Chains A and B, each alone.
Chain A
Amino acid sequence: MSRAAWVAAIAALAAQIAGAEEAPADPVLAHPSKFIARNGGDLYRAICQGCHMADAKGARGAAAYPALASNPNLQSPLYPAVIVVNGLKAMPAFGDVLDDEQIAAVVNYVRGNFGNRYTDTVSAAEVNAVRPATDGEQSR
């Protein structure tokens, strides 16, 4: 092997090691089939803001996407947790694509931002408890 080839091989190896250890700087679009973000803000940007918008103020067209900003329905953290798990009307369910910790993180993020000033949080265990029983009879 020539010296240049050795250098290239070592550089490639170093890059591979660095790539393996480094979490992606931007978790959005980091994975083709999984939401890998763990942080509530990242999850909000990856999922919620598509409809509820970056400022969480929602939008109105033929019908409306409700504002999550300053939303009194968020008083109980279980209410948004249930909606994220099961979906509501036209909103798809996310219970199958997010784990309990991710759901807790995004619910807590929304309840602590956008003019919402709730200080209590929901835990992963509490999210788990609102999941429908997995007996194949998931009701919606």
Chain B
Amino acid sequence: MTIRRRDLLALAGLLGAGSVLGPTGAVRAGMTTPPYRGPMKLDGAPKKTSVLVLGAGLAGLTAAYELRNAGYQVQLLEYNNRIGGRSWTLRGGDVYTELGGEKQICEFAPGVYMNPGPWRISHTHKAILDYCKRFGVALEPFVQLNYAGYVHSRNVLGGKPQRYAHVAADFQGYLAEMMTAALSKGGLDQPLAPEHLALLKPMLASWGGLDGSGRYVTGASSSRLRGPESISFEDASITYSQLLKFADVLQLGEDAAMWRGANHPGLASFQTTLFQPVGGMDMIPKAFASRLPGVIRTNARVLSMTQDESRVTVTYEDVSRPGSSLQASANWCICTIPLSILGQLELRIGAPMKAAIDAISYSSETKIGLQFRRRFWEEDEGIFGGFSITDLPIRQIFYPSGGLNTPGPGLLYGAVLHRGPPTYEFTGMTPAERVRRAVEYGAQIHPQYHKEFQNGMAVAWHRNPYTMGCNAQWTPDLIRKHHANARAIDGRFVLAGEGVSGHGWQDGAIMSALEVVERLHRRIVAAVR
């Protein structure tokens, strides 16, 4: 086996790299929101001042909730026939019609659900965690990393899925061995002081499962990390497990991009602890909505917005009466409609905000939920939550974190696709075709699919009528040119939500709403004085 040095460096260098401008990439690139400072308290709202909020996703719900608490008159318009926006849960009996007219009727069993949009909350997301606490939304851990999950490439080891525990341990072990050997030969560019070298060697040995002579070989040390092959019931003798070849580990890293994928557990955004609401993500928007009686109007498709010195007026269609034209008017307007939609609406706004809206594209993402008769991944393979990662076009299989160790039926996510060709290709298929393909590919990792599959739902976000894309794709260049203009109050109209938040998490939508509510309130109060 030969391993070129640059292969190794490339792989090692990728361990901590956030090379994809994912949800937190934009934050790193300079779009920051102020830290969460606890429950909002706004004093001095002038009487009879009204605010119209557009969009009942988490940003719009947050804005409406806080403005109402502060004493403003609030109304909220939502195009969809439900609240929550992308914070959404599909359950048995739900009907979802995507753009193009394909209708999916969800056949999930009672208790089985799928979150087609956001599905995890980081422990760093203080605002959304605080709302969940205050509103009594029960959370449970979302399992991200699972050592029992698989790393799979069709080109490696005959396409046999390998346990993450083995791949990760062997990667560490071989690296530690090479590093130890290099240290012994004085092969480092920047030599360590002898006392630090003395500290590093035992650390490497422990981290990498090396034996007494600094080797990563089959034996007690390596099996401490990756697990033994077997332990005899009769005499307690241990058979140590065979290591993967380093070349195979590297090839798995290349094909299944396990060290590079946005879901790598080492990336800060996905580090333990992550959470999910018990029973579905929409528990959060529902908790907001129950505190906003009489405020929200659904089935309201915004068509245009005009404004003058004292008011903002929005024209909308009641979609239950096609062709209808209604108006809503208020002193101020907070708009959380995705930029993908706003770019096509008639808005009386200045050129800078218009240019900002028009500059932002929306990503393609696809999630496919598959229901099976039984939780074979738990029963047969000991995988409780977390993910498997593969070079197949489905890229990832995520196992549910809720209802662990219960009898079936159960749902896993048979494809979780962020950007890249497969999400576009799946989007172009009918929902039935997406599900069929996800089952066909997934069966290469879990042959049980063939026997146990029952039904599925496939949500491709570019086909979602309400957002027409997944999330806003800011780049450092676009941030520099347009972000301040996207956030500025234009007359009596201001944008809030994921589209201008700087990160694609639900917490970003909430933080954006809080920041805008506070800024608008200060402006209103200052004008009265």
Contacts and interface: CB of A to CB of B under 8 A. Distances in A.
B343 A63 contact: yes
Nearest to B302: A62
A32 B152 CA distance: 13
Given A46-B424, A50-B428, A61-B99, A90 B364 contact: no
Contacts of A49: 428
29 contacts: A29-B393, A32-B392, A45-B425, A47-B425, A47-B428, A50-B425, A50-B428, A50-B462, A50-B463, A51-B427, A54-B428, A61-B464, A61-B468, A62-B467, A63-B340, A63-B468, A65-B99, A89-B340, A89-B343, A89-B344, A89-B358, A90-B339, A90-B340, A90-B469, A91-B361, A92-B361, A92-B362, A92-B364, A137-B477
Interface string B142-155: 00000000000000
Contacts of B467: 62
A30 to B, nearest CB: 8
B111 interface: no
B359 interface: yes
Minimum-distance CB pairs A-B, first 3:
A61-B465, A50-B427, A90-B340
Contacts of B180: none
A47 B424 contact: yes
Given A29-B422, A50-B462, A90 B393 contact: no
B468 A89 contact: no
Interface of B: 79, 99-100, 257, 301-302, 337-341, 343-345, 358-364, 391-393, 395, 420-422, 424-428, 437, 460, 462-469, 473, 477-478
Interface of B is mostly: loop
Contacts of B343: 63, 89-90
- Which of A51, A59, A137, A138 has the most chain B CB within a 10 Å cutoff? A51
A35 B469 CA distance: 20
Given A61-B465, A63-B345, A50 B460 contact: yes
- Which of B359, B362, B421 has the most chain A CB within a 10 Å cutoff? B421
A91 B428 CA distance: 15
Query: What band does the interface of chain A fall in when counting residues whose beta carbon is under 8 Å from B?
Result: 20 to 34
A97 interface: yes
Interface string A10-29: 00000000000000000011
Contacts of B339: 90
Contacts of B362: 90, 92
B361 A87 contact: yes
Given A31-B421, A61-B468, A62-B466, A89 B361 contact: yes
Given A49-B428, A50-B462, A63-B340, A32 B478 contact: no
A92 B344 CA distance: 16
A139 to B, nearest CB: 8
B341 A62 contact: yes
B393 A32 contact: yes
A61 B467 CA distance: 9
A42 to B, nearest CB: 10
Contacts of A63: 340-341, 343-345, 468
Contacts of A54: 100, 428
Given A62-B301, A63-B344, A92 B363 contact: yes
Contact of A140 (B392, B420, B437, B478): B478
Given A34-B421, A46-B425, A50-B364, A65 B395 contact: no
Contact of B465 (A31, A62, A140): A62
Interface in A55-114: 59-65, 87, 89-93, 97
Contacts of B363: 92
Given A46-B425, A62-B468, A140 B462 contact: no
Contacts of A89: 340, 343-344, 358, 361
A81 to B, nearest CB: 17
A89 B343 CA distance: 7
A2 interface: no
A22 B494 CA distance: 56
A32 B301 CA distance: 37
B428 A90 contact: no
Contacts of A60: 99
Nearest to A34: B421
B100 A53 contact: yes
B465 A32 contact: no
Given A28-B425, A50-B463, A59 B99 contact: yes
